Each structure stands twice: as C-alpha cells, then as structure tokens.
Chains A and B, each alone.
Chain A
Amino acid sequence: MSPVPDIRKQFPFITQQSDKIYFDNAATTQKPYAVLESIQNYYTRINANIHRGVHHWSILATEHYEAARKTVAQFIHAQDPSEIIFTSGTTHSINLLADCLSNTYFQQNDEIILSVLDHHSNILPWQNRANKFGYQLKYAHINAQYQIDTEHLKSLITRKTKLIAIAHVSNTLGSINDVKSIIDYAHQHNIPVLLDAAQSIAHFPINVQELNADFLAFSGHKMYAPTGIGVLYASKKFHHWLQPLSSGGGTIVDVDLYKAEFAEIPLRLEAGTPHIEGVIGLKHAIDFIYQNGGINQFYLWEEELRKHLYSNLTELQDDIDIYTDAHTPSVPVISFNIKNNHPYDTGTLLNNFGIAVRTGHHCTQPLMKHLKIPGTVRISLAVYNTLEEIDRFIIALKKTIKMLK
C-alpha cells in the first residue's frame, strides 16, 4: 500500500481517467488539486504586478511571490532565499547561467566537463557558448551501472577546467550519479559544479548545503507544479558572476539613458513580469509534498514501485534488454527495448493498450550513440502510480512482445 493512501484522489487527471495508465512522469507530472486551486485563488483574490505597486494587491502578490522563494529555499536547504532565482524551467536556468558565466568568468580555451548521459538541455547551452567563445567541452563516460563514471570524470580535470555541469539523475536511465564525490573532488581543485536536478527534485530529498552544490537547476512541472516555472539555485558566493545579459523592468535600482544600476540577485536576473502564478503553483506543489509526508515518503513508495517494476521486467529478460541493473541507485525510471525491435513499435502498441510511455532518444542522443541503440522505451513513475498499474502494464507488455514476434 502507498504510504499516502489518498494520494491518487488528489490528482483529478488520474482519477478521471483511471482506465488509462500514465507512465511518462519524467516528461511531466500531473498536478494535484492543491496546485490547481492555488492558481485559481491567485487570479481570483490576489492578481497584481509584483515589486512595483504600493497598493494592497501588489503588496499581497509580492508577499506570496517572495514567500514561495522562501519555501523553495527551505525545500532544497539553501542558505538564503536570495539564492533562488526563478526561471521558466531547467533549460532556461542552464542557459541563464551559461550566459552569465560567459559574460564574467570563462575565458577562451577554458574547459567545461559534461557527461555523455546528460540531457540536451545541459549539453547545447554549453556547446553553443563553447563554439562562440572558444571553450573546450569534455565528456565523462558512463560505468557498468549506467551512472557517470566518477573516476573517468576526475581524470578529465586539468588546470583549465572551469566548470563541471552534470545531471544529478539520468533522465533516460534513472540512475543517480555519485555527485557528492564529484563535487568534493571538484572543490579540491576550486572548480564549481552545476547539478541538473530536473530528474532528481521530485524523487528524493536534496540538500544543497550538504551536497555543497554551487549551482542547481530544476523545473516545477516535473514536481507536480505548473509548466513554465523553474529554478536556478546559485550559491551566494558566486553571485558576483551573475551579471545579466537580459534585463528589463524590475531588475534595476537606477536607470539613466545610457547606463543603469542593477538590483541585487535574485531580482537582477528576473527581468520583466515573472510567471507569478507559476511561482505560487510551485510553492503549493512543495506544500503538497510536505502535507503528504514529505519527499522521503515519496522516495520510499517510489522505491517499492521501482523494485516491483524491475523484478517483473527481469522476468522477461529473454525478450527485452534492460538498461539498468539491480545495483544501480535509481529513481523510478527504467529504460528497455524489446530485443530486435524498434522502441517506436513498442510505444505505439502500449499506447493502444492505454499506457502512456515515452519512446525515442529522450533528448539524450549522445547517450544513445554511446549505447549503440536508436532509442529506448522509458517507463517513469510518480508517487500516484500503483503496483496494480505496473501489473497491468506487464500484461500489456507481454501481449506487445507477442504481437511483434
């Protein structure tokens, strides 16, 4: 049984379509009533522009917006709310950081270390600036457990290495990387580390101070919050690097015709009217997690789901290849392929059985090339999924295997 028995009832998407199974949670999660109602409530009672007005509603909206920043800071154990910068999502967070660091920190021929399992969102922003400004990219390999090979990554570090930017968790394979030891080693060499936490944030507790992460990026929509809202966490000690390339309303202290004095971080980086409803939705998604036992409870249940899925899949190993193993620490995401079959066929048939899975390269083409496969079928679970849904999926998968033989 789920540790939170009523969890499914809190998701109208799930309860109103329970004949179907949603196993594409790594792409985006469904939203609980608490989040949906917070958006309705915001527009019904609070809506005004923030940080500008002296009137009642503007003050109220600003209070809600800044309270959300505090909630996010507490959720990832940041030292100070000013370390939380609201963005449109992980991709925006990483691009924003890449622009700031290109503006203030990197120099020609500097080296940035990524990994082959990273999402395109954590490859293209660096590739783009590297090509433009002459930085060098280096890629850590993966090990037999489908994690970033920590030793290989360490061996790539040189005196020119200026940043390590890696996935906390692989979006395709679900494997959790040993980021703590990578960060510790990087810091011995004075190299800051960015963690792409898009796939870890909804699955287990993250403590940026314990991890000693310098930068961390994640999206709201993968953790039960609305789309279009994300976070860049930036440790206070690096705020002097965060000089914006985009600016506008709300980012300034004083403006002359030809120069301006910019506000402190985070407001300096949040140009224009922000996604206020998204920020409030994100706060309520975090509150929803707290109110249902906290993220560790989510982890425990999801671990039970993952083990059930994994053991059922391993029974089909004559017919499928699974891209994880029993010893890989993982979030509830498993990639597989039916032997000698394209993932597209599997996904199409599963869809007809009413099961939503993701097929393809999952925006990780370098990883697919590394594994020498065109793509995978990816199952990704969330807290509202059940053991019974996994059993139904396995029955459908067996039929699918038969149809494709």
Chain B
Amino acid sequence: MNPIKNIEQELIDEFALFGNDWEAKYNYIIELGKELPSIPEEYKKDNYLIKGCQSRVWLKADKTNDTMQYYADSDALIPKGIIALLLKLVNHQKSKDILEYDFSIIDQIGLTQHLTPTRANGLVNMIKQIKQYAQN
C-alpha cells in the first residue's frame, strides 16, 4: 500500500467536514498558504518557476536516499495553499511512491469544480513538476 494513500484519506476526511461550504474550504486553503514557510529569495528564480499559472509558483526539491523534500512558494495565497496541500502528501515520501501516486485527491476533495481552467492548468503543472523532481 502506498503510504501517500493514508495521508490522502486523512485530507479527504478533513475536507468532508466542509461539505458544500466553499468559503470554509477556501479559508482552509488560504490558511495552509499562510502557514507554509516562504522560501529564500535565491530560489524565487525562473528555473524553479512553474509555468501555466496566472500567479507565480516556485517549487524546489531535494532528494536524499530516495526520500523527497519539497519547498514551494507563491506570490498569491490560494495557489500557495494548494501547493502546500500537495506537499503534505509528498514530503518525506519515497520517490517511487510519488511517481506511482495519481493525485486523485483533487477530484475527491471537490477542488476542481471551484478552480478556474487557468488555475486547473496550473495545478496540472504543479503535479507534473512534483513528479519530475521525483523522477530525476
């Protein structure tokens, strides 16, 4: 069993409490964004930038003994909250588990329906980049 699935289930249970209350859902995401520590300015460079987002999202990763540690930041709160949510799933996980994981959580927590296509595309690119780092 992929250990990421356990974290996924916890998050799904947490989001289930919000029901159809989109404001509560977004307040939670915004809070996650605020809690995620900023990355040093030296990492806010184009080579860490994720393309396809209206706001800027930077993602950096370290791999030690096949275990991934990601660092992310954004100049907007909601994208920062979304990437913080993704990092809850993938940080300290083995690269092969990350590569296997399908990120179906996005549909399951009912986030896609509230995301504009531009942002949805950004989200797709965030996931792609997370996997890219795990692959390298």
Interface residues as binary, B67-106 with A (CB distance below 8 Å gives 1, 0 otherwise): 0000000111111000000000000000000000000000
Q: How far is the CB of B80 from chain A (nearest CB, A)?
A: 9
- Docked pose: A348 CA to B78 CA in angstroms: 8
Q: A348–B75 contact, CB under 8 A?
A: no
Identify 9 residue pairs between A and B in the complex whose beta-carbon atoms are under 8 Å apart, listed by A's number. A341-B77, A342-B76, A344-B119, A345-B78, A348-B114, A348-B119, A352-B26, A360-B54, A403-B30
Is the CB of B125 closer than 8 A to any CB of chain A? no
Q: Are B55 and A374 in contact (CB under 8 A)?
A: yes
A404 in contact (CB, < 8 A): yes
Q: Which of B23, B30, B56, B78 counts the most A-chain CB atoms under 10 A from its CB? A: B78
Given known A-B contacts A348-B116, A374-B55, A404 and B30 have beta carbons under 8 A apart: yes
Interface flags for A51-95 (1: CB within 8 Å of B; 0: not) read 000000000000000000000000000000000000000000000
B77 lies within 8 A of A404 (CB): yes
Contact of A344 among B26, B27, B30, B76 (CB under 8 A): B76
Chain B residues whose C-beta falls within 8 Å of the C-beta of A342 in the assembled complex = 55, 74-77
- Is B18 in the interface zone, CB < 8 Å from A? no
State the Cβ distance, B109 to closest chain A Cβ, in Å. Answer: 15
Distance to closest chain B CB from A343 (angstroms)? 8
Most buried by B among A342, A349, A374: A342
Interface flags, A347-375, vs B, CB<8A=1, else 0: 11101100000011000000000000011
CA distance A125 to B76 in the complex (A): 32
CA distance A379 to B51 in the complex (A): 26
A347–B116 Cα distance when bound, in Å, is 10
B residues less than 8 Å from A347 (CB atoms): 116
Asked if B30 contacts A374 (CB within 8 A), the reply is no
Q: Is the interface of B mostly helix, strand, loop or mixed?
A: helix
The smallest beta-carbon distance between B61 and chain A, in angstroms, is 24
List residues of B (39-82) whose CB comes within 8 Å of A's CBs.
Answer: 54-56, 74-79
Q: Contacts of A344 on B, CB cut-off 8 Å? A: 54-55, 76, 78-79, 119
Closest CB in chain B relative to A130 CB, distance in Å:
26
Q: Judge whether B116 and A351 touch: CB under 8 Å.
A: yes
- What chain B residues lie within 8 Å of A359 (beta carbons)? 54
Question: Looking at the complex, which one of A351, A360, A374 makes contact with B75 (CB distance below 8 Å)?
Answer: A374
Residues of chain B within 8 A of A360, CB atoms compared = 54
Docked pose: A347 CA to B78 CA in angstroms: 11
Besides the known contacts A342-B76, A348-B116, 4 further A-B residue pairs in the complex with CB atoms under 8 A apart: A344-B54, A348-B78, A348-B119, A374-B55
> Least Cβ distance of A347 to chain B in Å?
8
Contact with B along A169-190 (1 / 0, CB 8 A): 0000000000000000000000
Which residues in chain B, 4-28, are within 8 Å of chain A measured between CB atoms? 22-23, 26-27
Please indicate the chain B residues that have their CB under 8 angstroms from the CB of A352 in the complex.
22-23, 26, 114
C-alpha gap A399/B22 in the complex (Å): 13
Among candidates A345, A351, A399, residue contacting B76 with C-beta atoms closer than 8 Å: A345
CB distance from B85 to the nearest CB of A (A): 15
Task: Give the CA-CA distance A349 to B79 in the complex, in Å.
Answer: 12
A177 to B86, CA, bound (A): 46
Of B26, B56, B74, which contacts A349 at CB under 8 A? B26
Q: How far apart are the CA atoms of A173 and B123 in the complex, in Å?
A: 30
Which A-B residue pairs are the 3 nearest by beta carbons? A342-B76, A344-B55, A344-B76
- Cα A278 to Cα B77 with chains together (Å): 42
In contact, B54 and A403 (Cβ under 8 angstroms): no
Q: Which residues in A have their C-beta under 8 angstroms from that of B56?
A: 374
Q: Which residue of A lies closest to B81 (CB)?
A: A345
A349 to B119, CA, bound (A): 12
Minimum Cβ distance to chain B for residue A67 (Å):
39
Residue of B nearest to A341 (CB): B77
Q: How far is the CA of A352 from the CA of B22 in the complex (A)?
A: 8
- Closest B residue, CB atoms, query A374: B75
Instruction: Give the complex CA separation of A364 and B78 in angstroms.
Output: 24
Rounded to whole Å, the gap between the CB of A72 and the closest CB of chain B is 34
| Chain B residues within an 8 Å CB radius of A403 | 23, 26-27, 30
Chain B residues with CB under 8 Å of A374's CB are 55-56, 75
Q: Which of B55, B56, B75, B79 has the most CB of A within 10 A?
A: B55
Smallest Cβ-Cβ distance to A352: which chain B residue? B22
In Å, the complex CA distance between A345 and B122 comes to 14
Q: Nearest Cβ distance between residue A345 and chain B, in whole angstroms?
A: 5
Residues of B within 8 A of A399 (CB): 23
